[in-house]
Structure 1
Amino acid sequence: MPCARCQTIPLSSDEPGNLLLTCAVRELMDKLTGFLEHQGLGGCVEDRVVRLPNTRLREFLVLVRDSGAFNRLEYQGISALRLDSGETLTFHAFTRARTLDRWLSLLDADALLDILEHRRFISWFQPILAADTGAVIGHEALLRGQRQDGSLMFPGEILSTAADNDLLFQVDRQARETALHSAAAQCLDGQLFINFIPTAIYDPAHCLQSTVGWAKNLGIAPDRIVFEVVETERVDDIEHLKRILDFYRTSGYRVALDDVGSGYASLNLLAQIRPDIIKVDMEIIRHIDTDPGRQTVFRALIGIARELDIQVLAEGIETPGELAHVVAEGADLLQGYLFARPAPEPPQPNGLEFWTKS
């Protein structure tokens, strides 16, 4: 059964329903009921809960925001829950309740909500090359969102907005689906690297069954897919991450750890989960041909990876000097603007003269 958490888009319904409001303290309840009376909304008050029948949540939130009647702390002290017409109040319904502060933040996230509701995520692709031959062995699917006006929303804004508004579950699910469908539409060969957010997954067997189903229906063999762990610095529950990666591996997929070397957390994860591939953080690759400190860190990562039988992907390569150094030090895979920038259609790589001259 699909997970309602991943598929429900807040504020997507503009139908009127029963809006329930409650406050942390009685003094705030008195102010709220006074505000509602002043606006001509009234409402029925019972056991410190205000019920506003036949109310559109979005319209109510805009009214509250534009009135300026409450401060930020008061927004945090008022909770709101919308029930569909005819829906009864259950304990489970409370999982949809948010403070006004959180609901108003969602209004500011309207662009992302619109992208989610109308499924306007797309994938751009960047090639990944074999370090020994320069051959393209696969592509990374990189998430983009299309706004109504056609402009793009990039991953930094998507993920930060999603994290601030409890939308990572919806974003992660649609992003995985988009990557698989886009790769199939482009008839891509080779490895497909797909990012995923481990904190957006409750139970691997349940939450990821859709991914397995999409890949199977699209004819993409599991051994072609590499799932990348992103936002490693936010991973607090390593055992949970292990369960996710075990599920992927049992299903025949490979896993990669992104941004290795960017902090203690990624190195700790490397030792504990032993991914199939590590992607060395681009901040280590930048100017590595002229920076002894970066060279030392990269050499150490290569050594650790060899001991653990892990492939090393050097990402963010931008200059011939960086390329020559990481290849000489033993990188297995390469990625970066030197070869190609991400594009809607998989681009042909540049910089291949490095191998023809070798």
Structure 2
Amino acid sequence: MPCPRCQILPLSSERRGTLLLTAAVRELIAVMGEFLRAHGLAFEDAGLELRLADANLVEFIERVRDSGSFNTLELQAIWALLLEAGESLSFQSLTRARTLEQWLKLLDACALIEILEAQRFVSWFQPILAARDGGLVGYESLLRGIRPDGGLMFPGEIFTLALANDLLFQVDRQARETALRCAAEQGLEGQLFVNFVPTAIYDPRHCLQSTVGWARRLGFDPGRLVFEVVETERVADFDHLKHILDFYRDAGYRVALDDVGSGYASLNLLATLKPDIIKIDMEIVRGVDRDPQRQSVLRALIGIARDLGIQTLAEGIETATELAYVLAQGVDLVQGYLFARPAQHPQAPYRPDPWPQP
């Protein structure tokens, strides 16, 4: 059965069915009935709800928006739910119900919903190099969405819209699968860092089976894949995150924490989770060669990671002097604009010659 959190989109321009409209008080249901009659929309009054047959939710919400017929309190108190053909009202279907206000906000996210519906996510890739000699280790996969006009939607907008409209589950699932598919199409070698948002996974055995299935079908050796926790600082449930990471490790994959060092929470995670790799936050790396405070934090992180047997990756390197400094402190991996910007079709990264020696 498709999962409503990550496989079913809340709005679709194609989907039709029985539209249910209800509210906590009968007076608001009557207000909606007047609206429907004024717009010539046939409906059945079932007492606790109004029913519109063969309706499209997008078209209905657009009509609500364009009419300006409802005030803020009415938009917050009237609920709508679309039942697909043959679907009966159930507790599970009720989880898809939203207020008119929430549906109107989703209209603002239609650009993202269209990308999700058409599966127009792509991955761009940025190389990761070995600190010892600058050899290519692998790539980090970075999400992009292709708009209908061919323009790109970048991660900041994608995840802002996803968080505001409860689309994070759908975005995160498609992003993981897109990373694997695009890397296979490009024939990329080495390790592949695939980002994931732990709050978008409630049960790894269920939520991650499609990702694991894609990896197997595409022939990825588990040892090549590094699943990277993004927004490490926002993790509130350490036990849940550990459960996810244990699932990945049991399947043979490696795990990494992103943006480590930007706050206490990520430091506290190191001893608890013992990831295979930590990515040192770029706010620490940038200008580290001339900032004693950043240098102290960098040295401390590298020392803690070394004691715990964790590899370190310095990300966000933009200058030769930053590179020389992090190499001298003993990082294991490096990444940043100095070597290459993210690209859909990555070329050989720039490698300083001679490569700085620690």
Compute the TM-score of the two structures, normalised by the length of structure 1: 0.95
Residue 26 of structure 1: CA displacement?
A: 3.7
Is 1:24 equivalent to 2:24 in the alignment? Answer: yes
Structure 1 vs Structure 2 CA RMSD: 1.7
User: Contact between 1:33 and 1:42, CA under 8 Å: does it hold in 2?
Assistant: no
* 1:226–1:254 CA contact under 8 A, matched in 2: yes
The alignment status of 1:216 with 2:216, answered yes or no, reads yes
Q: Equivalent residue for 1:311?
A: 311
Secondary structure of the residue that 1:37 maps to in structure 2?
helix
Number of paired residues? 358
Structure 2 residue aligned with 1:119: 119
The CA distance in 1 between the partners of 2:88 and 2:209, in whole Å, is 31
2: distance between equivalents of 1:252 and 1:149?
A: 40
Q: Is residue 126–residue 347 contact of structure 1 (8 Å, CA) maintained in 2?
A: no
Tell me the amino acid that sits aligned with residue 115 of structure 2: I
Q: Residues 14 and 57 of structure 1 are in contact (CA less than 8 Å); yes or no, is this contact kept in structure 2?
A: no
Give distance in 1, aligned partners of 2:273 and 2:24.
43
Q: Deviations over 1:206-254 (max 9, x none)?
A: 2112222211111110001000001223322111111110010011100
Structure 2 counterpart of 1:270: 270
For 1:29 and 1:216, how far apart are their aligned partners in 2?
51
**Structure 1 residues 67-103: Cα deviation after superposition (integer angstroms, max 9, x where no partner):** 1122333222111001123332222211211111221
* Moved beyond 6 Å, runs of 4+: none
Residue 283 of structure 1 deviates from its aligned partner by 0.6
Q: Secondary structure at the match of 1:355?
A: coil
In structure 2, the CA distance between the partners of 1:72 and 1:322, relative to structure 1 (3 Å rule), is farther
DSSP 3-state at the match of 2:111: helix
Residue 297 of structure 2 corresponds to which residue in structure 1? 297
Deviations 1:151-207 (A, max 9, x none): 001111111111111111111111111111111111111110000111111211121
Pair 211,22 (structure 1): closer, same or farther in 2 beyond 3 Å: same
Alpha-carbon spacing, 1:288–1:161, altered in 2? closer, same or farther (3 Å): same
Q: State the match for 2:232 in structure 1.
A: 232
Is residue 201 of structure 2 the alignment partner of residue 207 of structure 1?
Answer: no
C-alpha deviation, 1:310, in angstroms:
0.6
Q: CA 1:309–1:73 in structure 2 vs 1: closer, same or farther (change >3 Å)?
A: farther
Deviation of 1:104 (Å): 1.2
Q: Structure 1 15/180 Cα, relative in aligned 2: closer, same or farther at 3 Å?
A: closer
The one-letter amino acid of 1:124's match is: W
Secondary structure of 2:170 counterpart: helix
Q: How does 1:237-252 map to 2 (within 5 A)?
A: 237-252=237-252
For 1:11, the equivalent position in structure 2 comes to: 11
Query: Could you tell me whether the CA contact under 8 Å between 2:2 and 2:8 is conserved in 1?
Result: no
SS at match of 2:289: coil
Cross-structure match for 1:106: 106
Do the aligned partners of 2:327 and 2:356 also contact (CA within 8 Å) in 1?
no
Moved more, 31-40 or 311-320: 31-40
- 1:357 Cα deviation after fit: 7.7
Paired residues of 1:80 and 1:100 also in contact (CA < 8 A): yes
Contact between 2:327 and 2:357, CA under 8 Å: does it hold in 1?
no
**Residues 231-287 of structure 1 deviation map (CA, whole Å, 9 limit, x = unaligned):** 223322111111110010011100000011112222222232111100011111111
Q: In structure 2, do the counterparts of structure 1 residues 97 and 35 end up closer, same or farther at CA, with 3 Å as the change threshold? A: same
Give the unaligned 5+ runs of structure 1.
none
The aligned amino acid for 1:90 is S
Task: Give the superposition deviation at 1:308.
Answer: 0.8
Determine the structure 2 residue equivalent to 1:60: 60
Q: Which residue of 1 aligns with 2:258?
A: 258
Question: Counterpart in 1 of 2:196?
Answer: 196
CA distance in structure 2 between the partners assigned to 1:131 and 1:221 by the alignment? 24
Paired with 2:287 and 2:73, the residues of 1 have a C-alpha distance of 47
Q: Report deviation, 1:150.
A: 0.6
Q: Percent identity?
A: 65
Change (3 A) 1:354 1:68: farther
Cα separation, 1, equivalents of 2:318 and 2:16: 54
Kindly provide the amino acid, as one letter, of the partner of residue 292 in structure 2.
Answer: P
